[in-house]
Amino acid sequence: MATPLEIRHGLSLRDLNTFGIEAKAAALLRVNGIDDLRAVRADPQLSGMPRLVLGGGSNLLLLADYPGLVLQMTNLGMAVTGEDPYHVIVTAQAGESWHGFVQWTLAQGLPGLENLSLIPGSVGASPIQNIGAYGSELAEYFHSLKAFDCVSGELIVLNKGDCAFGYRDSVFKHALRDRAVILEVSFAFPKRWQPNLRYAELAAELAARGIAQPTARDISDAVVAIRQRKLPDPATVGNAGSFFKNPVVTAAKRDELLIRHPGLVSYAQADGSYKLAAGWLIDQCGWKGKSLGAAGVHEKQALVLVNRGGASGAEILRLANAIRADVLEKYGVTIEPEPVLV
């Protein structure tokens, strides 16, 4: 007979989200594999509840107590699972820590993910917004994933093309939203590796360290050092990293803005559009270091909203909305939140 599911009721989520926001879950289940998800689906009461899949809680803003079932992914494991003439395939379970996984791959002599070092959160959440940093993004090394389809009850396998990766975007934010629970992710590590030093600040950090031909470990160390200098550690100050995505505008809009704001920071995209630095826009509106109640804008990085102590999700959202309104008024550009509002 199957063991009954260990559902916990009324549990505080404060230590399970990096903003450190107090909110309670009506029910929470630690998910160790597909059997737990099948059991939830088979249970008439649990299957009817709203569901929130939770990894490290580093890309969430909890606006209130959660009235449904939180599925906390805790399945672990990492292994080399295949090979072709050009790649080594590695699979990690959803509950693994992303940074721990990156460090493990480097220790195995598998370079590729070093630019994505120290991004908080879990392996299972990494495809959701196609995590990216320092000139690299997950899609470059993604091979495939396995997920549980809560609607059909089937295990589904998705390849890169199925995931429709974009800038902080994937199919999991659209057609498969609230439907697919990612159980494991596989990555293809190229056997011939090239360092990726496209990001100027990373190249400068390595140059400052006197490293002309960096190994993947050198790059990981440099990324970790830059991130520790620039970003608040959620263990000390509650935050979810960048709170806004960089808005993408047409070339005409960017040209128009440049005339009025010659210091505008923008990056040309392959399709002719431009990505604007949201942090710069927010800074120019005078928000850096400011607070509204217990919600604040980080002193060094205007893109990062912080919990100065005891902030509610609604308070953080109020600050975010005030910033959005100012950016819209001054630049005519809408900036969208990156974390998921729950």
Ligand X SMILES: Cc1cc2nc3c(=O)[nH]c(=O)nc-3n(C[C@H](O)[C@H](O)[C@H](O)COP(=O)(O)OP(=O)(O)OC[C@H]3O[C@@H](n4cnc5c(N)ncnc54)[C@H](O)[C@@H]3O)c2cc1C
* Active-site hit among 242, 266, 312, 324: 242
Q: Which of 21, 27, 46, 54 lies at the binding interface for ligand X (CB under 6 A)?
A: 54
Q: 273 an active-site residue?
A: no
Residue 121 binds ligand X, judged by CB under 6 A: yes
Query: To the nearest whole angstrom, how small is the minimum distance from the Cβ of residue 29 to ligand X?
Result: 13
Query: To the nearest whole angstrom, how small is the minimum distance from the Cβ of residue 79 to ligand X?
Result: 18
CA angle 135, 141, 144 (to 5 degrees): 145
Nearer to ligand X, 119 or 278 (CB): 119
Residue 320 burial (10 A CB sphere; 0-12, 13-18, 19+): buried
- List Cβ neighbours of 3 (8 Å cut-off, separation of 6 or more): none
Query: To the nearest whole angstrom, how small is the minimum distance from the Cβ of residue 339 to ligand X?
Result: 7
Query: To the nearest whole angstrom, how small is the minimum distance from the Cβ of residue 51 to ligand X?
Result: 9
Residue 239 binds ligand X, judged by CB under 6 A: yes
Residue span binding ligand X (CB under 6 A) among the ranges 105-113, 158-166, 178-186, 196-204: 178-186
Q: Which of 111, 112, 120, 279 lies at the binding interface for ligand X (CB under 6 A)?
A: 120
**Residues binding ligand X: number (CB under 6 A):** 33
Query: To the nearest whole angstrom, how small is the minimum distance from the Cβ of residue 126 to ligand X?
Result: 5
* Active-site hit among 114, 117, 168, 315: 168
- List Cβ neighbours of 108 (8 Å cut-off, separation of 6 or more): 80, 90
Place of tokens 């559009």: 273
DSSP single-letter state for residue 310: S
What is the DSSP code string of 189-206?
EESS------SHHHHHHH
CB distance 18 to 239 below 8 Å: yes
Nearer to ligand X, 52 or 202 (CB): 52
Q: 168 an active-site residue?
A: yes
Residue 158 binds ligand X, judged by CB under 6 A: no
Nearest to 69 by CA among 124, 29, 32, 11: 29
What is the DSSP code string of 94-127?
TTSBHHHHHHHHHHTT--S-GGGTT--SBTTTTT
Q: 242 an active-site residue?
A: yes
CA distance 336 to 342: 15
Judged by the rule CB under 6 A, the positions of this chain that interact with ligand X are: 18, 52-60, 73, 94, 119-122, 124-126, 128-129, 131-133, 180-182, 231, 234, 239-241, 340
**Active-site amino acid positions:** 168, 242, 338
